[in-house]
Structure 1
Amino acid sequence: MATLDLTQENFESTVLENDFVIVDFWAPWCGPCRAFAPIYDQVSENHLDIIFAKVNTEAEQAIAGSFQIRSIPTLMVFREKVIIYSQPGSLPASALEDLIVKVRELDMAQVHKEIAEEQAGHA
């Protein structure tokens, strides 16, 4: 599956309508971003049930700003509408595969419960 380019128009719906979304924040002038792109594309072929998306931070500055992206590439993983992982820097294919395994293994019912408890404590 090819990666999906996210824009202001489709970012929110993509995250809300899919259980597992990985987003690569990048820019055309970024050397490490260009080096990471083929790794990201290759790993996406192994996981057809996951949405692999990209945000061009030059073209979509509002999205990058809303997530406080300060360094690129930055990978962000959403699972059931929750940000599970957000880290700058590129990953080798093996580390990206390991991250996907760990995110798949998460008990999302427990994650949602902890978020609800935390929000209730701040109410």
Structure 2
Amino acid sequence: MAVLKITKENFAEVRASEKPVLLDFYADWCGPCKMVSPLVDEIAEEHSEFTVGKVNVDTQPELAAAFGVSSIPMLAVMKGGRVTAHAVGARPKSAILDMLKG
């Protein structure tokens, strides 16, 4: 499954997902974000049981503020419309999957 580009316009649909949702808050200029991005892409391709989306904090400041993003990359997991886990900074793929499955 492809990674979704999350905007304030489509966020309600993503939040209503029956599947656990992984949100990757990033910026194009962020070095650590560039390390995490391919891992997020791999998870989206390999795990259809999750909804995976990326939120550009520069173009979606309202969503970044709503999630309290103060440092990036920030990963958030949502289940049932609620944030159940989050992590700031680069993480290995195994740690991201543990967040989703936890």
TM-score normalized by the length of structure 1: 0.77
1:15 is matched with which residue? 15
Paired residues of 1:23 and 1:77 also in contact (CA < 8 A): yes
RMSD: 1.2
Greater relative contact order structure (CA < 8 Å, 6+ sep): 2
Larger Rg: 1
Number of aligned positions between the proteins: 102
Aligned equivalents of 1:71 and 1:55: distance in 2?
13
1:2-38 deviation digits (Å, cap 9, x = unpaired): 1000001001221124331110000001010011111
The runs of at least 4 consecutive aligned structure 1 residues that moved more than 4 Å come to none
2:30 is matched with which residue? 30
Paired residues of 1:19 and 1:81 also in contact (CA < 8 A): no
Gap regions ≥5 residues in structure 1: 103-123
Q: Percent identity?
A: 34
1:82 aligns with 2:82: yes
2:94 is matched with which residue? 94
- Map 1:1-123 to 2 at 5 A: 1-102=1-102
TM-score normalized by the length of structure 2: 0.92
The code of the aligned residue for 1:27 comes to A
